Amino acid sequence: MNDKSDWRPVPDSRQLMVWDILPGTRAKQWHLVESAVKDGIELYLGPEPPEVATYNVGALKAWHKERKAKRVNIVAEPNDNLKRKYAVGALNRIADDLSRTTMGTRDDATNTAIWRLGGFVNDGLLNRDEVEQAIIGASNTNGHAGGNKTLSQIVRDVHRGLDKATHHVDWSEVDWHATDNTTPQRAESNDSGEPNAFERVLRLVPAKDIESDIPDWVWEYEGAGRIQRAVLTLFAGRPEAGKSTAARWFAAQWSKGELDGCWKGQPQRIAYIAPEEALDFVVKPGLQVIGANLDNILFPEVEINGEAVALLSGADEQKLSEQLLAAGVTVVIVDPIMATIGAKVDIYRNNELRQAVAPWVRIANRINGTVVGVVHLNKGNGRDVVASVNGSSAFGEVARCVFGFAKDPEAEPERVMSQVKNSCGPGNLSLTYEIAEEWFTADSGRSASMPRFTITGESDTTVGDILAAGDGKRRLSAKMRQLLDLVNSRSETGAAAVVESGIATSSNSASKMLERLYKRGEIDNPTYGFYCPKTTKPVK
């Protein structure tokens, strides 16, 4: 036999492309070629001399003969049920192979998968929706969706590819006894009653069959649930509002089991994803300065061929979910969540963004914990925090709990944190917080100041009020108007009187509200701690 040292072998059936028709074979024989390669038969892609074609033909014939000797036969005219079963198995197998492809081969592999499935569509054994959903699922898994193309581009590729695929399946060439073809794991047997893979199943569920329940809350404030378990929560704010510092504070409290809620007294394990922050200079020191239990903090990393790459919600969902469950992680912080979506996703197209954010919703449910995503606010949209989130409205629609963070220019250094969405609980919470600098000594022995988030009390102002005001003077809130009426009705008013009236719940809060009215020029402050109606000089 000729020396085959310069011949190009087929290393893996998954690497066969549409145009990779092996010398000595026809395009319709790809089923047989795949089965032969999986059985360990050496076949070659090139070079082109006749010897390669002769070898491939001989190898396939010998393989056929051996299989026939073992009573493994080719079925010439299968019935429709067997064809459908084979088509579903091929769909599952091709989608699974596509999901394993790596960067640099995804475009070719996707086109090949679509072409191969086109024959089954043309024979009426698969419909276009089944192929579309299978390709989208595989593209989300391998990172093609979001990494190379948008979902809408992939959908267009599917239908264009199916339009171009005019061939039909040559059933005389199908090896029915290839293991993953005759008994595909997700294919339907004729009498099973189970749905086919990727088949949409609709049923009506009686309300009496649903077990009603009350949600668990991983954070409660003053006895009310604020962050719900098993859902996506968003921390939204403009730059320098302190939302990332707040996320680290919440992570630290959960790591120690010190936050009020269903985990009180039970330290939790946290996965902290911060692709835009330095772990050694920002994230770890920020956790250390507030006393986080570092044994419970994990930093997920992703590599391709030894090179660090960004974690992507679609491509890494399955593996991340598996590792989170294995490590007992119940809290995931994603700061910012936008960095995990992928450059090819159009964040202003609702459906595309939903597809990209949905993995975090599913992960929160799978770990039965919480995913907190940090997002940025745009300028504009008035007082509506959810509508101001950078991107389409999908962010606010899929998240069950949303908090806004903002600097309060009228009460520096205080800032305001407001709950603007709480699907299963009250949404009227507004708190003040401060970002103070605290001296910190790092593991290296060097020292510097680090920001520390501290909730200081309740606020009569909301983040929406601050956003609506912009750079101008904002209107008084209902509570502040009540306080102004109280001060104007008395000769002098102190914090105790404000608490007694029920406008404020503590002397500290009352004093801050009075001081805010004074700074706005609404009232006077004749003596320390006491305020009176505004006096105006008579006009001369």
Q: Rounded distance, CA 377 to CA 409, Å?
A: 17
Predicted local distance difference test score (pLDDT) of residue 183: 36
Average of per-residue pLDDT across 180-205: 52
- Name the strand (E) or helix (H) holding 164: helix 151-164
Distant-in-sequence contacts of 382-387, Cβ < 8 A, 24+ apart: 382/464, 382/467, 382/468, 383/462, 383/464, 383/465, 383/467, 383/468, 384/464, 385/236, 385/418, 385/420, 385/463, 385/464, 385/467, 386/236, 386/420, 386/421
If one compares 476 and 293, the residue with the highest pLDDT of the two is: 293
| N-term to C-term CA, the chain | 118
217-468 and 476-533 in the same fold: no
pLDDT above 50: residue 469? yes
Cβ–Cβ under 8 Å, residues 410 and 519: yes
Predicted local distance difference test score (pLDDT) of residue 72: 46
What are the pLDDT digits (tens) for 363-411? 999 999 999 999 998 876 667 888 888 887 888 889 999 999 999 877 7
> Nearest 5 degrees, angle CA 151-CA 155-CA 159?
170
**Is the CATH code 1.10.287 the one for domain 476-533?**
no
- Backbone dihedral angles phi then psi of residue 339, each to the nearest 5 degrees: -70, -15
Q: How confident is the model at residue 25 (pLDDT cuts 50, 70, 90)?
A: low
In percent, how much of the chain has pLDDT > 70? 83
If one compares 199 and 309, the residue with the highest pLDDT of the two is: 309
pLDDT above 70: residue 177? no
- Backbone dihedral angles phi then psi of residue 386, each to the nearest 5 degrees: -60, -40
Q: Which residue has the tokens 């549409």?
A: 18
pLDDT above 80: residue 196? no
> Nearest 5 degrees, angle CA 19-CA 23-CA 27?
45
The identity of residue 427, as a single letter, is G
Residues whose CB falls within 8 Å of the CB of residue 464, separated by 6 or more in sequence, listed in order: 382, 383, 384, 385, 404, 418, 420
DSSP calls for 343-367 = TTS-TTSHHHHHHHHHHHHHHHHHT
pLDDT above 80: residue 47? no
Instruction: Give one word for 240, left, alpha or beta, with left for phi > 0 and alpha for psi -120 to 50.
Output: left
Q: How confident is the model at residue 318 (pLDDT cuts 50, 70, 90)?
A: confident
CATH superfamily of 217-468: P-loop containing nucleotide triphosphate hydrolases (3.40.50.300)
Buried b (16+ CB within 10 A) or exposed e, 481-496: ebbbebbeeeeebbbe
Nearest of 128, 91, 84 to residue 113 by alpha carbon:
91
Predicted local distance difference test score (pLDDT) of residue 176: 55
What are the pLDDT digits (tens) for 109-118? 888 889 889 9
With 0.85 as the threshold, say if the pTM is over it. no
Domain locations along the chain: 8-72, 80-173, 217-468, 476-533
